[in-house]
Amino acid sequence: MDKDQPNKPQFEEHHHRHHSKRRHHRRFHPWRWLGVIVLLFLFAGGSYAWYIYHNVKTTADGTYIPLNKSEEEKTKDQSNLKNKKPLSILIMGTDTGALGRTEARGRTDTLILMTVNPQTKKTTMTSIPRDTMAQMMGSKGINIQKINAAYSLGGADESVKSVSTLLNVPIQQYAVINMGGLEKIVDAVGGVDIDVPFSFKSEQDHYKHQFTKGKMHLDGSAALAYVRMRYEDPRGDYGRAQRQRQVITAILEAAPSMNTLSHFKTLTEQVKGNFRTSLSFEDMIKLYQNYRPATAKIEQDFVQGVGAYLNGSSYQIASTPELQRVSKKIRQNLGLKEAPLKNEETKQNALNPDFNWQAENSSGYEVQGADKVN
């Protein structure tokens, strides 16, 4: 193994409701694709390497949309990157452009908060179910909606603020991919290899796919259907979140292949058209240089909720102890002390003392004092 490469990462996924743990031993380097480009530029030489570098930089520049931050916050973020401080990135997948959807902005079907700590050589990926009840931080008054609505209301800024407030953790950066573009990106990397957990059929609009338990190679259309299926999964949103992480992992693993290089122009075009991030090209270089050791151990988790109806809509409501547990875990990986959660979600939980938190689905939860519940 190359000395520059991190050790083979360990995967740990925690299903806290059932108190079980699984370890996955798969190669997963979130910065691998960027690393290949950097190495090609530095060592390959010649016009082709320059062509690749130029196209990657142009693509990265086209995807860069910073968060609305003060100059002081921006300076602190840059200092943290330079000094290898722990980092948090909110990864989002929107439903715009997929399966005929034409909304201008869309909601986020995928929400994964990734924390990266190069000192402890540990990365956490925490999925937040799209139906999780949350206050929209950026809307007027107390606006309670599903967490996936934040992006449609105020873009990445509102999503970052809402997740940050929900879990009481700082979030420095974001990355968002249009799920309509996921299909083309998967095709550009030559498809992805997935270990399908159970057999099922997917029929969405005019697309029909059959998935068989075990290892399968999926093209873009199949991969999109795979991550979107929800109702046939016994774990619902939680199972879908796991499948979304599977596909993201598989894309990153497939990206450095020679097959990808032969489709390089197509890949960069699809990334530029379907990907946005607050990370500049220079930030990405720093991430690759300074944060690769954190991929030695990757721990996966999710926010567990209880199903309930609010104003006729199906929600997942996370208990205060569950929110506190997730907050503590994320803050630990960021090198921060545990802090008591005190937000609108915990306030509403306290106003519902008789709600059955032990059930998968329950009734009787009422939001009180909010200006809007949708």
What secondary structure letter does DSSP report for 20?
Answer: E
Lowest mean pLDDT among 29-38, 157-166, 168-177: 29-38
Answer yes or no: is 61 within a domain. Answer: no
Report in angstroms the alpha-carbon separations of 244 from 127, 233, 237, 239. 10, 13, 10, 9
Confidence label for 257 from pLDDT (cuts 50, 70 and 90): low
For residue 326, is pLDDT > 60? yes
Higher pLDDT, 283 or 102: 283
For residue 33, is pLDDT > 50? no
Q: Which one, of 254, 350, 295, 210, lies nearest residue 4 by Cα?
A: 295
Domain membership of residue 119 as a residue range: 10-34+66-263+274-305+322-335
Judge contact between 191 and 219, C-beta under 8 A.
Answer: yes
Answer yes or no: is 310 within a domain. Answer: no
Judge contact between 130 and 111, C-beta under 8 A.
Answer: yes
0.85 surpassed by pTM: no
Answer yes or no: is 315 within a domain. Answer: no
Answer yes or no: is 96 within a domain. Answer: yes
Q: Which one, of 181, 171, 184, lies nearest residue 278 by Cα?
A: 171
Q: Any idea what the CATH number is for the domain that residue 110 is in?
A: 3.40.630.190
CA distance 156 to 174: 7
Confidence label for 7 from pLDDT (cuts 50, 70 and 90): very low
For residue 261, is pLDDT > 80? no
Answer yes or no: is 356 within a domain. Answer: no
For residue 285, is pLDDT > 70? yes
Tens of pLDDT, residue by residue over 302-325, are 999 999 999 999 999 999 999 999
Range among 9-13, 178-182, 273-277 with highest mean pLDDT value: 273-277
pLDDT value, residue 269: 74
Report in angstroms the alpha-carbon separations of 74 from 182, 200, 306. 30, 46, 37
Answer yes or no: is 247 within a domain. Answer: yes
Mean pLDDT of the region 205-228: 88
For residue 25, is pLDDT > 90? no
Domain count, the chain: 1
Q: What string of DSSP letters covers 86-117?
A: -EEEEEEEE-TTSTT---SS--EEEEEEEEEE
pLDDT value, residue 95: 66
CA distance 287 to 268: 19
Report in angstroms the alpha-carbon separations of 324 from 120, 343, 366. 22, 11, 21
Report in angstroms the alpha-carbon separations of 372 from 105, 149, 368. 21, 13, 10
Read off the tokens for 96. 């715009």
Strand pairing report for 275-277 and 133-135: unpaired
Q: What string of DSSP letters covers 45-81?
A: -HHHHHHHHHHHHHHHHHHB------HHHHHHHHHHH
CA distance 272 to 136: 28
Read off the tokens for 198. 């159970």
The dihedral of CA 294, 300, 301, 302: what is its sign? positive
Answer yes or no: is 192 within a domain. Answer: yes
pLDDT value, residue 64: 92
CA distance 116 to 288: 12
Residue written as tokens 């220079």? 282
CA distance 134 to 298: 27
Confidence label for 231 from pLDDT (cuts 50, 70 and 90): confident
Answer yes or no: is 317 within a domain. Answer: no
CA distance 255 to 267: 9
- Percentage of residues of the chain with pLDDT beyond 70: 78
What secondary structure letter does DSSP report for 168?
Answer: T
